[in-house]
Amino acid sequence: MDGSHAVLKRVFGFSGFRPNQETIVSALLENRDVFAVMPTGGGKSLCYQLPAHMRDGLCVVISPLISLMKDQVDAAKANGLDAEFLNSSLTPKERFRVFQSLENHQLDLLYVSPERFALPEFMATLKQAKISFFAIDEAHCISEWGHDFRPDYLLLSNIAKQFPKAAVAAFTATATHKVSDDIIKKLGLRNPHLTRASFDRPNLFYQVVPKDNLDFQLLEFLHGHQGESGIIYRTTRKSTTATAEFLQEQGIRALPYHAGLTPVQRKKNQDRFNRDEVDVVVATIAFGMGIDKSNIRFVLHGDLPKNMEGYYQETGRAGRDGEPSHCRLFFSRGDIVRIRYFIEQTEDAHERKIGEQQLFKMVRFAETNVCRRKTLLGYFGESYEKDNCQACDICMGDVECADATVPAQKIMSAIHRSCQRFGAVHIVDIVVGAKTRKIRELGHDRLKTYGAGKDMDKKYWRRVIDDLLAQDCVIQNPDNYSALELTPKGRQILLGKKRFEVIRQKTARKSSFAGLAGDYSEKLFAQLRAERQRLAQGEDVPPFVIFSDRTLREMALYFPDTPEQMSGISGVGAAKLAKYGDSFMTIIEMYKHAHPEEAQKHSILQVPVKIKRSKRKTGRTVTDTRDLARQGLSLAAIAQLRRLSEGTISQHIEKLLEEGQGDGLDVDTLLDPAKRMQIEELFNRASRKSMKAIIEASGDTVTYAELRTVRAFMQQP
């Protein structure tokens, strides 16, 4: 039997494990319980899919992500695994088929929800199956201390008792040490192998900017990221719908997603996003846990998240393929008031206290003047040792420290001289010299600080108050209508005994830290994406199930045009090579002929993985083309029938002739005889000219696929 490294390459197309994956796989191969905290994009699914393929028996994957199950199963099947799912979206006939496969021991993986697992009749069915181990995804849902507690998850504590011989592996992307201990205890894990991976996502750029006219801030960002996929999170259904409609009016391919939509509409919008038919989803936090899309290039928060776990989970949906991605939070202290209102509606005093603590830590992250990554990782109990992460606005110099002592003194003087009895709106009116009835009646137009800040607008002074609140120089008294009051620290600044410094945003810019090494061809990448989209539509799967963006970029860097070279590309396993290799190699070969100078430059590069070279056997896809050609179908008809490009079919014909399987193939049935004669004459006149030159000589009346087909027959003895 192949070792895990050999299976990793042959099945999944990867030359090496990511950090922590190998030890988890080894533990499961030894039938040992596992608890793993791994960030989104860290490769959790491979940790159980690989041993599920290697071990005799069934891996039951329990996940709350019903909307994601089909994509996960499609991705597993694309790699050659026997996988199915059971949930309410299946028809009775489809459920019967899955149960048959389960009863006949034909599955490597079965995805189910915790609700289905709890059904007595389903439990009885599992008792008859040969289960090797259970994999529990989103395991933080079992902990009341987690950010997404779900009571139905508590039923999973019976697994170890009901199936004592099966290992249990629990995975989560977000868990503090307290939550981790709670998960292990509730699941009853038996001396588990523990993995706590770094929460650091080096490819994510973290940024916080002041929220000011959010719609146009979003539009400005999106104009700089055209053609990229991203998520915009909003707090309410109303704001979600409004933002989506605004972006649509501005020509952005955007859709909303929130609990107010019908299940059918939510699924439709999510599927369109998964399939790259729209670029942006504007969503409440109801969206995201059902997303496995690997090429999300940005996550924007239009409102302040309620807690750090939620923020980390949501930003973690960007850059799952390891490519550089942008996470921007638009922050206003007004969001704090709204979140606090909802927290105060919580009846349980203990839960209210937890909510307040979580909100406070989220605000500290938004207002920090130190490395965002250091603050974020510190929340999860992880130290970040580098002085500069090179991937956040603080470290990249997108913000600057400014002396704001004098403006702060003007605000605090107005607070002090008005006897600390008024809120932010009235204090700002005093400083700008507003001529309101309230100011006249109270005599505040006679205060020394009245009009002291009339050279700046109200928005500026409100920001100064926000800065003072953030640095505990003033507080809002909840028992006195949120009146502003000075703290001892604030009095020190007012008296000139301390400076007051603030963080200010420089001009926002797109993150520029490095991604895939090498100067890949953007034009070829675009053509490969188009081919991926065509194949995905034909199979009714998201494009990333075929290949990830990272895999396509490697193709556009190394120009692999043989099976051996293609199998060296990351993410191209044996099953995908057999199924999709010809299609993508044809695109690459055609591109090389059309762009010889670029092809020559990339031919110097070598695919970095050494592959044992062996003669490739003719695949099923090629023999299918042969059978149709023997029936007298034309090149175009075969391509249409098989939903492949004519270039791919011509490649099949060429391979058949090269391997001596051309019996029954007739060029004059594949192509119009007149066209065939024209091409033969072009070849005879062109001598050693390139395909591109021959096409130009024909006045673009012939195609590359036609040339290749005729050339293959001309080269026959």
**Reduced to 3 DSSP states, what percent helix, strand and coil does the chain have, rounded to the nearest 5?**
50, 10, 40
Note the pLDDT tens digit of each residue in 628-677.
888 888 888 888 887 777 877 887 888 788 778 888 888 888 988 888 88
pLDDT of 223 higher than 60? yes
Closest CA to 406 of 503, 497, 493: 493
| Percentage of the chain lying above the pLDDT 70 cut | 92
Note the pLDDT tens digit of each residue in 396-447.
877 777 889 999 999 999 999 999 999 999 999 999 999 999 999 999 999 9
**Looking at residue 525, what is its pLDDT?**
92
Alpha helix locations (H) across 380-423? 405-417
User: Which H/E stretch holds residue 255?
Assistant: strand 254-257
CB atoms within 10 A of CB 281: 26
d(CA 634, CA 650): 11
**Looking at residue 512, what is its pLDDT?**
45
Q: Which two tokens stand for residue 96?
A: 């019967």
Q: What amino acid occupies position 237? A: R
Decide: 248 and 311 in contact? Cβ < 8 Å. no
Provide the Cα torsion 591, 592, 596, 597; round to 10°.
90
pLDDT of 87 higher than 80? yes
State the pLDDT confidence band at 108, using cuts at 50, 70 and 90.
very high
Indicate the average pLDDT of the chain: 85
pLDDT of 215 higher than 80? yes
Three-state DSSP state, 383: coil
Note the pLDDT tens digit of each residue in 267-278.
889 889 988 999
Report how far apart the first and last C-alpha atoms of the chain are (Å, whole number): 44
d(CA 370, CA 399): 10
Q: What is the mean pLDDT of residues 363-376?
A: 86
Q: What is the mean pLDDT of residues 611-619?
A: 40
User: Which H/E stretch holds residue 210?
Assistant: strand 204-210
Residue with tokens 């199936």: 163
pLDDT of 534 higher than 60? yes
pLDDT of 519 higher than 80? no
Among the ranges given (62-71, 128-137, 146-155, 685-694), the one the predictor scored with the smallest mean pLDDT:
685-694
pLDDT of 515 higher than 80? no
Note the pLDDT tens digit of each residue in 168-193.
999 988 777 888 999 999 999 999 99
Q: What is the mean pLDDT of residues 358-377?
A: 86
| Gyration radius (Cα) of the chain, Å | 31
Q: pTM here?
A: 0.65
**Structural domains in the chain?**
4-196 (3.40.50.300), 204-398 (3.40.50.300), 401-505 (1.10.10.10), 516-601 (1.10.150.80), 617-717 (1.10.10)
Does residue 415 or residue 624 have the better pLDDT?
Answer: 415
**Looking at residue 516, what is its pLDDT?**
44
Q: Which two tokens stand for residue 402?
A: 């400014």
Strand 280-283 and strand 204-210: the pairing is unpaired
Handedness of CA 397, 399, 401, 402 (dihedral sign): positive
pLDDT of 279 higher than 70? yes
State the pLDDT confidence band at 232, using cuts at 50, 70 and 90.
very high
Decide: 446 and 475 in contact? Cβ < 8 Å. no
Note the pLDDT tens digit of each residue in 542-556.
898 999 988 998 999
| Percentage of the chain lying above the pLDDT 90 cut | 38
pLDDT of 141 higher than 90? no
Among the ranges given (47-61, 156-170, 562-576, 601-615), the one the predictor scored with the smallest mean pLDDT:
601-615
* Residue 681 CB contacts under 8 Å (≥ 6 apart), including other chains: none
Angle between helices 349-367 and 308-315 (to 10 degrees): 60
Which bin fits 80, alpha (ψ -120 to 50), beta or left (φ > 0)? left
State the pLDDT confidence band at 600, using cuts at 50, 70 and 90.
confident
**Looking at residue 691, what is its pLDDT?**
64
**Looking at residue 231, what is its pLDDT?**
95
d(CA 690, CA 595): 11
pLDDT of 1 higher than 50? no
